[in-house]
Amino acid sequence: MTATVESTVSAPRRGTGRPAAGLAPALAGTVTVGLGGAAGLLGVLGISGHGGGVRLGWLLPLAGVDFAVSATAGLFMLLVGLVAVAAGVYSIGYFRTSGASTITLAVAPVFTAAMLGVLAAGSVVTLLVCWEMMALASLVGVLSDHHRPAALDAGRWYAGMTQLGFVAILVGLVVLSASGGSGDMVLLGRHAGRLTPTARNAVFALTALGFGSKAGLVPLHVWLPRAHPEAPGPVSALMSAAMVAVGIYGLVRVDVQILGPGPRWWAVAVLGFGALSAVYGVLQASVSTDLKRLLAYSTTENMGVVAVGVGAGMLLIDYHRPGAAAVAIAAALVHTVAHAVFKALLFLSAGAAVAATGIRDLDRLGGLAVRMPATTILFAVGALGASGLPLGAGFVSEWLLLQALIHTEPGSGTLLAVVMPVAVGVVALSTGLGVAAMVKAFGVGFLARPRSPEAAEAREASPSMVAGMSFAAAACGVAAVAPVVLSAALDKVLGETPGVGLSAAPSLGVVLRLPGLAGSVSPAVLAAAVVSVTLAVVVLAGRAGARRRPAAVTAPLWTCGAGPLSERMEYTATSFAQPLQQVFDVVLRPEVDVEVSHAGGSEYLVERVRFRSRVDDTVELRLYRPILAAVSRWAGWVRRAHPGSVHLYIGYGAIGVTVVLVVAR
Amino acid sequence: MAGLTGRIRRLGRIAEPAPPAPGPLQDASEVGRGSLQLRHVDAGSCNGCEVEISGCFSPVYDAERYGARLVASPRHADGVLVSGVVTRNMASALVDAVNAVPAPRVVIAVGDCACDGGVFSEAYGVVGPAGAVIGVDVAVPGCPPEPAQIIDALRKLTRR
């Protein structure tokens, strides 16, 4: 996120192993699309209650592999399927033009299959095995361009964080299945009551940590803004749209459905970390100058909003408000789906722009609207969705969430009365700043004039890439105006959630109605009104203007006498974000460096002014760096014990044997 | 606030009474009728005319009551008010500014220098009067012209 240092991606991409040629990208893409289609089918089966159980005892020694798709899993499979189809179609053209090794090509299908495995898992062991496959496949994706130091660094962070998260989930789920007396997810849901309160709290803390880190919640998000931008376009779309949703699935399935309803602090913890993620993520996104890093931080923000919904739902369940709880959890689920489609679209179109220019730095992009019109329009559709405005994919869920949060009756308890208004403020702030971040990404990155020769010579994405993005854009459109398609799935998922009033489930028809809460809105009618009014104005103004309009004259651009405008005069991402950076500098702690060199020894004559601005991740600097430094200090101490002397090692052996003999005497 | 209101009331109206309206120009176009927005360009003046122009828009002469107004950009203007002899450095800037005014437009030359070169006509670095670079519609002679003369010309255009 440095304003002056360029982040150029070397194109063509150098990957692991030898470059694949010919039909390989098409094959990999088709397999991914096929997996996506199958996931959609399985998801529908799961939602309709035919997710049944399949046991493959021979596949894994001792435990076997169990698959059973619950309705919740079905909804998330549908989501992963949507993203996989879009990314699969897109990847055909993407890898054909930018070149990729066979290993990189294999990442997308394997990764998709692993994610589907996690969702379809019917037992704890299957879930853990698939979870690890998912982590490893995505790690290979992050490292597909491992010749660059930034990618290597991202890979190390990602590997460390994802394995720590896996350990937390592993221990948590093992404790859960040991205490619950079964490894079966459905049985565990019935037997979770057998756990002692301590075990329940421990399992919740461990699994929430693990799933939260996969969803990119602050302060476990540090891997996300590094890893997501480094992966190739389709893989980063799968990671940022689908994999974080798998983290949310874990949170909902294990912590809300199997373990819940739990003590009050669970809900407050989920809501609190969600609120922190939403605000911190959107602040970092709004000052980010790297296009894909901006989108990655926006993912943290959106997952934070989802966690706010889940946490609010848990809290409302605890306060016996089944109606509002249903709305809050439904809002979280709808937002997860909406985020998946618009973030897939954003990452795919950003990947197209990066592939065409080799540049991720917004300060050096621009002018793509002329050279890449289709990509620009599709990015705009995604950005509208991410802004949470009407006609955008994120509108319905944000509206539902706000409805659940603001309808807290007075006298419901002190905690609820304090937490809910704060949550409303968090959602409002993150939505507002999210609009600024998306305006910056779209306006600076795609409009105006190109700021670099690479951007000036960009070529439009290939037809299959445009087709993949258009599929995601169509899904955005459906999510924006016809959320009714999710209605049936939501009913089933809420039915699987203990403590939620099924009768109070929001109905997402043409008009969104919330039984038990006052408030309704109709996104479809809203969209129809906006479109028809716009059309009417255009037609009427065109007709009225045509009668009186004089002949057009070509006149020179008025530049206040300053000579021709150049791209150096445009707003850059850095300058656009400067006011926000100024306002929030307590949180962001930007490093600004102005260096003035004087000419001829006179303090009045300036030869050159050099401005450098850099915003680092405060959480990483303040929290992780000290921990890493402590670990490496400790490792240094341990290292002294093995200096390479064979005699010393034999001595260790002797001491060890003596200790064992004394202890086991 | 009360002090300000009181001061306004005590001071009263200081604008000079409006003289009778002059007739329209012979070949008057409809530009600026009722309302005339002008961009002022100093093409190389000694600043004498500028002092008189600023006097026109002062509370005493108050040209705005006749519908004439100075604006900040030629894109907002109906015409250009040129003062001073056109110097080489300002020639292309003047042409650009006039071209930036949407047609139909009016060009008013204020002062002898803008009308025929005046005392600077023989100087080096001078291209000539405003008429040498752009077409002039209305000329206000004088070195410098008095505010009353400038306002008289403006009122011929606004017809108020």
A552 touches chain B (CB under 8 A): no
Q: State whether the Cα torsion A625-A433-A217-A275 is positive or negative.
A: positive
Contact, A309 vs A337, CB < 8 A? no
Q: Please tell me the distance in Å from B45's CA to the nearest CA on chain A.
A: 18
Residues 190-209 of A with CB under 8 A from B: none
Query: Tokens 């009913």 identify what position?
Result: A491
CATH assignment at residue B95: 3.40.50.12280
Name residues whose C-beta falls within 8 Å of residue B62's C-beta, 6 or more positions apart in sequence. Answer: B15, B16
Q: Please tell me the distance in Å from B7's CA to the nearest CA on chain A.
A: 39
Instruction: Tell me whether residues A558 and B103 touch, CB distance under 8 A.
Output: no
Q: A549, A557, A558: which to substitute to probe chain B, counting the most B Cβ within 10 Å?
A: A558
B97 touches chain A (CB under 8 A): yes
In whole angstroms, give the CA distance from residue A555 to residue B128: 25
A524 token code pair: 């479809």
B41 touches chain A (CB under 8 A): no
pLDDT value at residue A15: 41
A556 touches chain B (CB under 8 A): yes
Q: Is residue B119 part of a domain?
A: yes
Chain A CB contacts of B77 below 8 Å: none
Nearest by Cα to A93 from A355, A291, A455 = A355
B100 touches chain A (CB under 8 A): yes
Which chain A residue's Cα is nearest to B98?
Answer: A558
Residues of chain A with pLDDT under 70: 1-21, 501-504, 515-516, 548
pLDDT digits (tens, 9 = 90+) for A493-539: 888 888 886 666 777 777 777 766 777 788 888 888 988 999 999 99
Q: How many domains, chain B?
A: 1
Instruction: Tell me whether residues A558 and B74 touch, CB distance under 8 A.
Output: yes
Contact, B144 vs B138, CB < 8 A? no
In whole angstroms, give the CA distance from residue A327 to residue A516: 10
Q: Is residue B108 part of a domain?
A: yes
Nearest by Cα to A469 from A87, A5, A77 = A87
Q: Is residue B101 part of a domain?
A: yes
Contact, A290 vs A360, CB < 8 A? yes
Q: Is residue B93 part of a domain?
A: yes
Which of A553, A555, A558 lies closest to B73 in CB terms? Answer: A558
Residues of chain B with pLDDT under 50: none
Q: Is residue B2 part of a domain?
A: no
Chain B CB contacts of A553 below 8 Å: 103
Chain A CB contacts of B80 below 8 Å: none
Contact, A394 vs A438, CB < 8 A? no
Which chain B residue's Cα is nearest to A561?
Answer: B93
Report ipTM for this prediction. 0.70
Q: Is residue B52 part of a domain?
A: yes
Distance of CA B116 to CAs B25, B112, B126, Å? 20, 6, 12
B31 touches chain A (CB under 8 A): no
Instruction: Tell me whether residues B100 and A556 touch, CB distance under 8 A.
Output: yes
A551 touches chain B (CB under 8 A): no
Instruction: Tell me whether residues A560 and B99 touch, CB distance under 8 A.
Output: no
Q: How many CB atoms lie within 10 A of CB A462?
A: 17
Chain B CB contacts of A555 below 8 Å: 99-100
Which of A553, A558, A561 lies closest to B75 in CB terms? Answer: A558
Chain A CB contacts of B73 below 8 Å: 558, 560
Instruction: Tell me whether residues B73 and A560 touch, CB distance under 8 A.
Output: yes
B70 touches chain A (CB under 8 A): no
Contact, B96 vs B104, CB < 8 A? no
Residues 102-131 of B with CB under 8 A from A: 103
In whole angstroms, give the CA distance from residue A352 to residue A462: 9
B74 touches chain A (CB under 8 A): yes
Residue B69 domain boundaries: 35-158
Q: B89, B96, B98, B101: which to substitute to probe chain A, counting the most A Cβ within 10 Å?
A: B96
pLDDT value at residue B28: 58
Q: How many CB atoms lie within 10 A of CB A635?
A: 9
Q: Is residue B25 part of a domain?
A: no
What is the number of alpha carbons within 13 Å of residue B40 lying toward its C-beta? 21
pLDDT digits (tens, 9 = 90+) for A564-621: 788 888 888 888 998 998 898 888 888 888 888 888 778 888 888 888 888 888 888 8
Instruction: Tell me whether residues B97 and A561 touch, CB distance under 8 A.
Output: yes
In whole angstroms, give the CA distance from residue A47 to residue B150: 83
Return the SS3 of A622.
helix
A555 touches chain B (CB under 8 A): yes
Q: Is residue B18 part of a domain?
A: no
